Copies of this chain bind each other. A is one copy, B any other.
Amino acid sequence: MKLLEDRIIKEGEVLGKDVLKVDSFINHQIDVRFLIRLGAEFAARYRGEHITKILTLEASGIAVAAMTALHFDVPVVFAKKMASRNIGNEVYSTEVPSFTRGNVNTVYVSKKYLKKEDRVLIIDDFLADGNSLSGMIALCDQAGAAVVGCGVLIEKVFQGGGDRVRRRCRVESLAKIASMEDGKIVFAPDASKTDL
């Protein structure tokens, strides 16, 4: 999606070989009008899929998920992080290693908000090694909910998580980064139908 690629080129900061900071419009400061346009793209790509719920992970997925949910008119559920493993029987839970922080979080969703009748679109800001998406898919599996697919803003293709998650379900990425060597962002071809 050219709209997002252009913004990444303009404002993204590459740190080392594999970290991309987009703090000026997604991850710290949030450009809400811009995110609504990205959410519209997910809505276009998943049109007709009868999504009943959008699942994301706190904290940086929440704004993207909320702006996407507006187009589908369904609730967002955000999985919560907790240090402890003792989180009771009222929740589905799984462990998610964090790429950016280098730790492992237990993430959970209340059984009240994820049901076997649900058709879930999983939304996140980044797809790197795929651990966040895989964790959210595991939560859906525990609930018996159908995972219709995933929508991520930025996929770092060279980290391989996309291949892993696509073996399980459909994944739509609005910007695919093929490499960031020497601080230069190279995008992979965009297979989207629209060209915003």
Contact = CB atoms under 8 A, between A and B. Distances in A.
Interface of A: 23-25, 28-33, 35-36, 58-59, 62-63, 66-67, 69-70, 73, 75-78, 80, 109-110, 112-113
A78 B59 contact: yes
Name which of A32, A33, A62, A109 has the most chain B CB atoms within 10 A of its CB: A32
B69 A66 contact: no
A30 B77 CA distance: 6
A66 B30 contact: yes
A75 B23 contact: no
A78 B110 contact: no
Contacts of A73: 33
Nearest to A109: B28
A28 B77 contact: yes
A112 B24 CA distance: 8
Contacts of A30: 62, 66, 69, 75-78
A32 B28 CA distance: 20
A33 B110 CA distance: 21
A106 B35 CA distance: 28
Given A59-B59, A59-B62, A28 B70 contact: no
Given A29-B113, A32-B70, A32-B76, 10 more contacts: A24-B112, A24-B113, A28-B78, A31-B75, A32-B69, A32-B75, A59-B80, A62-B62, A62-B63, A63-B66
